[in-house]
Chains A and B, each alone.
Chain A
Amino acid sequence: MKTLWLALSIVLLLSVISLAVGSSAVGFEDLLAYFSNQNLDPSVKYIISDLRLPRTMALITIGMSLGLSGVLLQTVLDNPLAEPYTLGISGGAALGAVIAIFFGLGAIGVPVGALVGCFAVTIVILNFSGSKMLMKSRSLILAGIMVSLFCGAVVTLLVSLLDPTKIQTAVYWMMGQVGTTRDVGWPALFLIFLCVYLYFSFQEKNMDRLLLGDDIAASLGTNLNLIKRTVIVSVCVLTSGSVAIAGLIGFVGLVSPHLSYLILGTRRHSLTLTLSSLIGACLFLVSDILARILSHETELPSGSIMALIGAPILVMLMVRRTRYATAD
């Protein structure tokens, strides 16, 4: 429990920093003035309430969504490398978005394209794998990787055909970026996150039983098909929401669960569901704050900063695998 409160305080601390850091000169003092309801310059007020607040909330919500998705997938698929990428869900989202960019659909078209792509891929994978193969998680991952590769190839082809003005939009999308007008969509994603989080906190015991393997879980009364389908659909919704706001964000979904197993020393879901979500928020906040500090003129895409932080952490974890839970 202490760990969870600590993680929550770190998230709050990082949020304050995230509200006070950026390309404009608005800093901690303005922030203090803003929250104590003092008279402020309207432009300062605008920067805090209309730019940095939605951005910070988007970071937290997306980080939590991906951190939660990672835990759910890793347990259900019995695979330490599972995350939305593994199922091809992110690949589908990228394809949908790039198609929208290709046809010149505007600010609304791109996130809608991502949503459609996510759901299309999920339906394809679920039908591909059918109910029999769903029981065998490895075939599901194989189907996911195939779909991912296919989408990746189509995306590369489309991007190479784009005219130069659109290429930047497409590339930024694929690297992941907050701080756009799409940030305001965070309340919708937050609501979805809350539903998924509460549902699986309620299903905590069934999720724990999945850790004992499908046969034992089923013998103890867990409905494998139901819980696996619920996880896949939930992850699909969370991922498409995240992608619609910020494009493709890698590593959060992969690293957050492993960090939480490492810190807690257990894989029981009563704590990991919460901690992995909070760690996801922390990682995304840190990478976006860094992205803003490192460059003042043009903002770096926080998704690529995330990968810069995430990749070494992952390698470090793999080297020290004996100390925590990894398969094989």
Chain B
Amino acid sequence: MLQLIDIECGYDSFKLKIERLNQSSPLLFMIGPNGTGKTTLMKTLVGVLPTKGGRVNTKPCAYLPAQHTIQPGVTGQDIFELYDGNKSKWHSDDVLHVLGTKKLMNRRIENLSSGELQRVLLTSVLSNPASLVLLDEPLTYLDWNYSLRVADLIQNQIQKGRHFVISNHNLSWCLRFKTSQTWVLYQNGVVLDGSTETILKHPKLMEIFKVKTEITDNPIDQTKILAISKYET
């Protein structure tokens, strides 16, 4: 699992410092207000951005960027094959079926809607053979139904021994998973680290996000949801 020691990364205008952090649960969420370095940390873990000193142990990994720069003319099948989806150890047929992407694979990316492309990308990333998966805001563009399906797929793959690092803003979605760990990024570092439920009850959380939060029961199924409201000082 992920282990970060003495990381210093980022750009000239934005630096991120991490002394020592361990992933203790196979499912790790990174949350934080906009511009606190979630994507920067992801890119550093993947190896797209360099670190000044320190160590990260993430190779090889399957990575879904927050924003894609795929060139026009590329098809879904191209993406799937280049992510080595054919060599998957994680039942790529199931993934294709659950995300409904079989029919989309022959289309060029410019002929797909944003949500369809996101599903094609998720299919490819989840089919990559690496046992560590990094997803940067995987729910972007997805409708409600597919958001829940992605959660099921991830839960399944965790049971088969896969590890996930996911940055996300929808905390109710995060609470659908039985156990998970959460890092809160704020002010150039990770300020909170713990199980997701305890983090979401932490008094500092409201200060960081400037919203009121409360965990309640989901009246439809047995999960929890995070209710939020405007923060009055």
Partner-B contacts on A (CB < 8 A): 75, 78, 205, 208-209, 211-216, 218-221, 261, 266-268, 324-327
CA distance A219 to B61 in the complex (A): 7
Q: Can you name 5 A-B residue pairings with CB atoms under 8 Å?
A: A208-B78, A213-B70, A219-B46, A219-B63, A267-B74
Chain B residues, Cβ within 8 Å of A268: 78
Interchain nearest-CB distance for B54 vs A (Å) = 19
Chain B residues, Cβ within 8 Å of A324: 73
- Contacting pair A211 B63 (CB below 8 A): no
- Contacting pair A266 B71 (CB below 8 A): no
Chain A residues, Cβ within 8 Å of B69: 78, 213-215
**What's the count of A-B pairs with C-beta under 8 Å?**
71
CA distance A325 to B109 in the complex (A): 10
The bracket for how many chain B residues form the interface is: 20 to 34
- Contacting pair B75 A266 (CB below 8 A): yes
Q: Which of A216, A221, A327 contacts B68 (CB 8 A)?
A: A216
- Contacting pair B46 A218 (CB below 8 A): yes
Chain A residues, Cβ within 8 Å of B73: 211, 261, 266-267, 324-325
In the complex formed, the residue of A with least CB distance to B69 is A213
- Contacting pair B65 A215 (CB below 8 A): yes
Q: Which of B43, B48, B72 contacts A326 (CB 8 A)?
A: B72
Q: Is B18 an interface residue (CB 8 A)?
A: no
Of residues 32 through 78 on chain B, the ones whose CB sits less than 8 Å from some CB of chain A are 43, 46-48, 59-63, 65, 68-75, 78
Interchain nearest-CB distance for A226 vs B (Å) = 14
Chain B residues, Cβ within 8 Å of A215: 43, 46, 48, 63, 65, 69
- Contacting pair A327 B71 (CB below 8 A): yes
Q: Is B153 an interface residue (CB 8 A)?
A: no
Chain B residues, Cβ within 8 Å of A220: 82-84
- Contacting pair B47 A219 (CB below 8 A): yes
Q: Is B79 an interface residue (CB 8 A)?
A: yes
- Contacting pair A325 B43 (CB below 8 A): no
Chain B residues, Cβ within 8 Å of A205: 82
- Contacting pair A325 B68 (CB below 8 A): no
Chain A residues, Cβ within 8 Å of B110: 325
Chain B residues, Cβ within 8 Å of A208: 78, 82
Q: Is B108 an interface residue (CB 8 A)?
A: yes
A-contact bits for B88-120, CB 8 A (1 contact / 0 none)? 000000000000000000001010000000000
Q: Which of A212, A218, A327 contacts B47 (CB 8 A)?
A: A218
- Contacting pair A218 B48 (CB below 8 A): yes
- Contacting pair B61 A325 (CB below 8 A): no
Q: Which of A214, A216, A219, A327 contacts B72 (CB 8 A)?
A: A327
- Contacting pair B47 A211 (CB below 8 A): no
Enumerate the 9 nearest inter-chain pairs by beta-carbon distance, A residue then B residue, closest first: A325-B73, A213-B69, A219-B63, A267-B73, A325-B72, A219-B46, A215-B65, A218-B48, A211-B71
In the complex formed, the residue of B with least CB distance to A218 is B48
Chain A residues, Cβ within 8 Å of B134: 219
Of residues 210 through 232 on chain B, the ones whose CB sits less than 8 Å from some CB of chain A are none
Interchain nearest-CB distance for B65 vs A (Å) = 5
CA distance A167 to B199 in the complex (A): 77
Interchain nearest-CB distance for A238 vs B (Å) = 22
- Contacting pair A216 B63 (CB below 8 A): yes
Chain A residues, Cβ within 8 Å of B72: 325-327
